A and B are shown apart, each in its own frame.
Chain A
């Protein structure tokens, strides 16, 4: 989408003839933007995603070092919360990547997993980060459900990564009331759905589509900042595709978010 100045004091007369559109075309074609696409030009399939992760890690490490220096300059120990969460975010990203590259082995080891208990555990682990990002967490379990067969550790990594992304995405949107990120387990036609939803519109279908298209390219579709990363969204999407019907944008109680539907294990059902 081209962006033309609309301010009444603009000294340029905004018409095609005056070159405003020409500038934007030049910008779009300029190497600066095309640079972002060149990382995908690789014969090594693992290189693009690793480049994506490297961009994410670079951003988090910069925040980490800035946070430490900020705490040193100001003497405010609360300033060290930022580096702590940056380090945790980097660790989650690396965990997600390790699971991503080890998918074949991971998915051989499945067990009955209670989605309600798992989401509750994830919510508990994210409460500090959410509070620091000035949002609240909530859990809604819409009934008693049977366990699903999944690799518990991989699923926990994925759900943690998704909740981290959603919490971070809403933090970059200006909102009047304190937002709430809600973890939901409910029954749908496709099975048991585990989802994470936000009271502010941080994720939509276009965002998820962009995330999938961004494979191999640096960029963060969930945040207004391209410098922050969500390689985790791509990897979570890929991993959930193996465990469930795949990640999708969905709605719950006027909230929008991300969810995946899991089929109840037939073995468990027979037992």
Chain B
């Protein structure tokens, strides 16, 4: 059974996503901060990480940079589900090196679309 880690600082949204992902037949855990996410990536070894970039203490790009620093975690697929527009992200010099499997603009992404995106990334 594929393991999904949802990194979402909003408690309500995070729990909804987690519940729906479990309902689709996956295992799912929720992290509300970059620090929690790193601990869970280490202990839980997810196959896919669904990530919101906008977190105050350490944002998602910093988390991604660290994640991509570790050889062991090269195979983890990243689905960005964020309110930061992709056109802005592409202007960052490091974005292309972060190996994002799927980008979703959160305001345009209802739960069904998120589930479809996870499904397509898992099966790819």
Chain B residue nearest in CB terms to A71:
B16
Is B62's beta carbon under 8 Å from chain A?
A: yes
* Cβ contact within 8 Å between B107 and A74: no
User: What interface size band does chain A fall in?
Assistant: 35 or more
Chain A residue nearest in CB terms to B63:
A3
Chain A residue nearest in CB terms to B107:
A62
What's the least CB distance linking B44 to chain A, in Å? 15
What mask results when residues 23 to 50 of chain B are scored 1 for a CB within 8 Å of chain A, else 0?
1000000001110101000100000000
Pick the most buried of B32, B38, B72, B83: most chain A CB atoms within 10 A of its CB: B83
Residues of B within 8 A of A171 (CB): 11
Q: How many residues of B contact A (CB 8 A)?
A: 44
* Cβ contact within 8 Å between A66 and B61: no
Cβ contact of B66, chosen from A5, A32, A59, cutoff 8 A = A5
Per the bound structure, the CA–CA distance linking A61 and B109 in Å amounts to 12
Is B99's beta carbon under 8 Å from chain A?
A: no
Chain B residue nearest in CB terms to A173:
B32
Is B1's beta carbon under 8 Å from chain A?
A: no
Residues of A within 8 A of B10 (CB): 63, 172, 225, 227-228
* Cβ contact within 8 Å between A224 and B32: yes
Cβ contact of B93, chosen from A26, A35, A79, A226, cutoff 8 A = A26
Residues of B within 8 A of A62 (CB): 83, 106-107
Question: Would A73 and B56 be within 8 Å (CB), given that A7-B70, A10-B70, A224-B9 are in contact?
Answer: no
* Cβ contact within 8 Å between B110 and A65: yes
Is A215's beta carbon under 8 Å from chain B?
A: no
Per the bound structure, the CA–CA distance linking A32 and B64 in Å amounts to 15
What's the least CB distance linking A22 to chain B, in Å? 10
* Cβ contact within 8 Å between A63 and B12: yes
* Cβ contact within 8 Å between A31 and B83: no
Is A91's beta carbon under 8 Å from chain B?
A: no
Residues of A within 8 A of B111 (CB): 66, 69-70, 73
* Cβ contact within 8 Å between B20 and A74: yes
What mask results when residues 210 to 248 of chain A are scored 1 for a CB within 8 Å of chain B, else 0?
000000000011011111100000000000000000000
Within 8 A of B (CB), among A61-106: 61-63, 65-67, 69-70, 73-74, 79, 82
Is B58's beta carbon under 8 Å from chain A?
A: yes
What's the least CB distance linking A45 to chain B, in Å? 25
* Cβ contact within 8 Å between B91 and A30: yes
Question: Would A9 and B71 be within 8 Å (CB), given that A27-B92, A30-B91, A172-B32 are in contact?
Answer: yes
- What are 26 contact pairs spanning A and B, CB under 8 A? A3-B34, A3-B66, A7-B38, A7-B69, A11-B70, A12-B69, A26-B94, A31-B88, A31-B91, A32-B91, A32-B92, A35-B88, A65-B110, A66-B16, A67-B12, A69-B111, A69-B112, A73-B20, A73-B111, A172-B11, A223-B56, A224-B56, A225-B52, A226-B56, A227-B106, A228-B10
Beyond A26-B94, A31-B91, A73-B111, 6 additional contacts (C-beta under 8 Å) are A3-B62, A7-B38, A31-B92, A74-B20, A172-B10, A227-B9
Which residues of B pack against A, CB within 8 Å?
Answer: 9-13, 16, 19-20, 23, 32-34, 36, 38, 42, 52, 54-59, 61-62, 65-66, 69-72, 82-84, 88-89, 91-94, 106-107, 110-112
